[in-house]
Structure 1
Amino acid sequence: MKKTFFKIVAPAAGILAALVLASCDNSENNMMDTPSQRTITFENIVTPKDFVQSGNFQGTGTAPVILPGQSVSIKFSAGKTQALMFATMYGASKDWFFASQQPGIKLFDMNGNAITGDVSSSVLLWDNGTKDNMTGQPESKPIMQVSNVNASQLMKLNLAYNDVTSEFTLTITNTSGGTANETPFSPGVWAVSNYSGSQLLNSAPFFTPNALSNPEITDIAQMGNIDKMKLKLNANTGIMTGLSPAIVVVYRGDKNPIYELGKSDSGMGLKEIAQSGNVTKLQNSLKALSNVKAVYIAGNAPVTPGNKVMAAFTADPGDKIAYATMFGFSNDWFYANEQSIEANAKGDLTSKTTLFDSGTGIDQYPGAGNHQALFGGTPQPENMNISKVGSQYPVPAVQNVIKVTVN
């Protein structure tokens, strides 16, 4: 499956497409030293993973199974187009399992509103095709839907939603008691596929209908054993992101003109970069500052994993540079240099780079928040000081997402 096209959706159409490599110079330079020419490069080096979140569930009794009449709940985050896939064994069978329809339970309607309430119609019962249903002898048939059993009569699914956090709660209840198909449910697994901005990275999680099974789903279908699937999910789950075009400023003095840690957003345009990747307002604001000598923009479109943008700049001895780019799959985060950088510096500057929260929008799970620009949303406003992004979410280390170099 192709996994190389990602986008950041800005609220105003055409914002990113209109950006061009630009610069301004509003200083008088009477120095005798020769100005130096440099090129700064921003690379997106994050490793895309199939799933943004995943996990497992089990019963709360002495045995980990979910017996008739019992329920279990799972919490997860998602934005428009994302879906929840889960799987659990139909315990009273040779190799049957419950799973939501591909690519998972639909979570938002066509208008982008969260779907809540009873979604039991989303669950199906599948025959794994690896054991004969009567004898239990091994066989090799494709995974097929069990046609003569209504799965929604055996399992009730209920969705609740928190709009502020973009977090869902799915409650799974075993309603098979007293039916002809009474059965326990085994421990299960769940996952939310990463969204690139144009498609899900995995549109058929766990298994492919009408194809032969795999070892991970076979262990669930035959034994209720989720160990292999958990390992596979853990290896293929992680936060990723695109980057916005980067703003680069050449300036004099000790104060970074882009942001000030511990202070609230100045209103010069950092919010627009951090929320939607729009550099225009900050670019124009910086041009008007007396200590700013030049402003440059690297790139004119989102920087997808495996790609890079660059900008050539000119600086005099004694000048400094500062830069910022959006962590695209967030509500209001941005990468910027935390340490002061002399304009004549060369080499890898990644160690001077930090991920910041602009404090202008309420955070949601990165790459799974419906108010993020990735999903065409607008962050719900907050008024907090600019701070470093903490450990609330398992965000990859800076050096595993972005590489900044000057040559």
Structure 2
Amino acid sequence: MKFSFLKCFPVLAVAASITACSKSDNTPITERNTITIENVLDSRPLVQSGTFMGSGDPPVIFPGQSVSFSFYAGKGQTLTFATMYGWSNDLFFAPENPGIALYQSDGAPITGDVSSQIKLWDNGTRVNEKPGMGIAHPGTPEATTKNISEVNGTDAYGHTYLAAAQLMNVSLAYNGNSNFTITITNKSAGTANETPFSPGVWAISYVAGGNQLLPNAIFTAGQPTANGLTNIAEAGDNAALSAYLTERTGLFTPLSPVLVVVYHGDENPFFTTGEHDRGEGLKALAQTGNADILAAALKAKPGVKEVHVLKESMSTVLLPKANGGDGGKVSQELSVVKGDRLAIATMYGFSNDWFFATKGNGVDATEKGDISTSLGLFDNGTAIDQFPGAGLTQANLEGTPLEESKPIEAVPHANPFTSLPSVNKIIKVNLQ
């Protein structure tokens, strides 16, 4: 029998078609997915604020009495406060801005008597009578409100005053781990300017880029009084100014350059909760925001397909939202196929070693939409924690982290230092 090529061709063609379809079915389809990471924290300029008052009724601080309160602070941060010279029309005690220095230039905490940093100020809203217990409150308004001015020996009406340090003793004690206690003592008894001190307010500003975000939190010398300070200076009522400061107190943190990893596998390629840092560079990311070391290590790992370190074009870091503006944002196009996983990591900038990262084995890299809820905030366990944004050993506040060795764990919303919002109120991650 003769073999007929033509007769067999249809059969061969069908077989070839089946083979081609089979190969096509097994070839993963590459998709383009763009990841966008944004700092959506609605930031505040004050890291801490509060009130203080005497223990009696009324809650003033009488001559011979003291009041204390504690706070956290890092290098470059200062403490400011205000309290009324009670037997006056509108005078108040406060340190000159930006406040009481808390550290030496070498980072050593300042302790002991810091009374010399306190001054007496005229609020400029009431005509000053001769100070004393019989003074009339609220007194006569100034014909035109004057700017806040220092009372240095005498006021604008010729009344004399001792230096603030002769009426008020202020001392600092350092409790360790960036925590201080300040004690304010009324030592005016028996002086020509004997007076009670009113309930007061205090505040500490964040420092970013070497500058305090709100260095004039309570007042500005040479400017009109504002924001409720008059209530303290004239009547010793700290409620309005406290509300103003509270509204400006909260979180401020940048996010470091963001590590983005596309991989194929059953586990996250750079960390797992409950284990210690692997020594591949996550420590540098978590402590200083340097993702480059970990990125280089990941590129050499099997199953890792893409590694990116995304830096904001203007500031490198992703700054939070402030004064109505948008926060920092970065984006990157990814080539992904079904089965690929995606993981990210970025430092909580004002911490010792906290980092945001995708939980567990990352997320499906082909997913679309907002994946922010897949992220958690983790403690890398390699540096002793301090109050976020007010720690002496935080790298982004010119400190050197104090080493420790603990397993990586999630940071609880209510931690020993502060209460944090949900992660998606700080960082937003979107895939499109």
* TM-score for both structures, normalised by structure 1: 0.89
**Does the 8 Å CA contact 2:74/2:178 hold for their aligned counterparts?**
yes
Is the 2:259–2:308 contact (alpha carbons within 8 Å) kept by the matching residues of 1?
A: yes
Structure-2 separation of matches of 1:272 and 1:191: 32
Correspondence for 1:281 among 289, 293, 303: 293
Q: Structure 2: how far apart are the matches of 1:396 and 1:242?
A: 15
Whether contact under 8 Å (2:227, 2:244) holds in the other structure is no
Aligned equivalents of 2:55 and 2:280: distance in 1? Answer: 52
Shift of 1:311: 2.1
Query: What does 1:82-121 correspond to in 2, within 5 Å?
Result: 82-121=77-116
1:299 aligns with 2:311: yes
More helix by share: 2
Render the CA deviation track for 1:5-30: whole Å, top value 9, x for unaligned: xxxxxxxxxxxxxxxxxxxxxxxxx9
Say which of 419, 427, 430 aligns to 1:394.
Answer: 419
What is the deviation of 1:46? 1.3
Residue 29 of structure 2 contacts residue 337 of structure 2 at CA under 8 Å; is this kept in 1?
Answer: yes
2:4 corresponding residue in structure 1: none
Structure 1 position 359, deviation (Å): 1.1
- How far did 1:75 drift? 0.9
Letter paired with 1:395: L
Q: Which residue in 1 is equivalent to 2:203?
A: 191
Provide the rounded CA distance (Å) in 1 between the counterparts of 2:217 and 2:200. 14
Letter in 1 for 2:166: Q
Q: 1:112 Cα shift? A: 2.7
Q: Does 1:80 align with 2:83?
A: no
Cross-structure match for 1:371: 393
How far is the alpha carbon of 1:405 from its aligned partner?
0.9
Contact 1:157-1:172 at 8 Å conserved across structures: yes
* Contact 2:358 2:375 (C-alpha < 8 Å) held by counterparts: yes
Alignment-mate amino acid for residue 396 of structure 1: P
Other-structure match for 1:17: none
Aligned twin of 2:244: 232
Corresponding residue to 1:202 among 214, 235, 241: 214
Instruction: Decide which of 151, 164, 175 is 1:146's aligned counterpart.
Output: 151
Matched, 1:159 2:172: yes
Q: For residues 5-404 of structure 1, what are the structure 2 equivalents within 5 Å?
A: 32-134=27-129, 136-139=139-142, 140-148=145-153, 149=161, 150-163=163-176, 165-299=177-311, 301-305=316-320, 306-339=327-360, 340-390=362-412, 391-392=414-415, 393-404=418-429
Letter in 1 for 2:355: F
| CA distance in 2 between partners of 1:60 and 1:257 (Å) | 56
Alpha-carbon distance between aligned partners in 2 of 1:335 and 1:31, rounded to the nearest angstrom:
36
Once residues 422 and 105 of structure 2 are traced to their aligned partners in structure 1, the CA distance between those partners, rounded to angstroms, is: 35
**Conserved 8 A contact 1:297-1:311:** no
Whether contact under 8 Å (1:44, 1:307) holds in the other structure is: yes
**Aligned residue pairs: how many?**
377
Superposed displacement of residue 162, structure 1: 3.5
Q: Secondary structure at the match of 2:207?
A: coil
Matched residue SS, 1:186: coil
Larger displacement relative to structure 2 (327-336 or 135-144): 135-144
- One-letter amino acid of the counterpart of residue 124, structure 1: K
Per-residue deviation, 1:31: 5.9
Q: Distance in 1 between matches of 2:259 and 2:147?
A: 53
Contact 2:354 2:379 in 1 (8 A): yes
Further displaced range: 55-64 or 77-86: 55-64
Looking at structure 2, the residues matched to 365 and 292 of structure 1 have their Cα atoms a distance apart, in angstroms, of: 36
Contact 1:258 1:323 (8 Å CA) reproduced: no
Contact 1:64–1:187 at 8 Å: present in 2 too? Answer: yes
Following the alignment from structure 2 to structure 1, what is the Cα–Cα distance between the partners of residues 243 and 289? 35
SS in 1 for 2:240: helix
Q: Which amino acid is 1:303 matched to? A: L
| Structure 2: gaps of 5 or more residues | 1-24, 130-135, 154-160, 321-326
1:209 aligned counterpart, secondary structure:
coil
**CA shift digits 1:214-240 (9 cap, x unpaired):** 251000001100010111111110111
Which ranges of structure 1 fall in alignment gaps of 5 or more residues? 1-29
1:313 deviation in Å?
2.0
SS in 1 for 2:307: strand
CA contact (8 A) 1:296 1:313 kept: no
Deviations 1:66-124 (A, max 9, x none): 11111111111111211111000111111111111101111122223222111101111
Counterpart in 2 of 1:24? none
SS at 1:273 equivalent: helix
Deviation at 1:36, TM superposition (A): 1.7
* Mapped partners of 1:81, 1:31: distance in 2: 60
Identity of aligned residues (%): 48
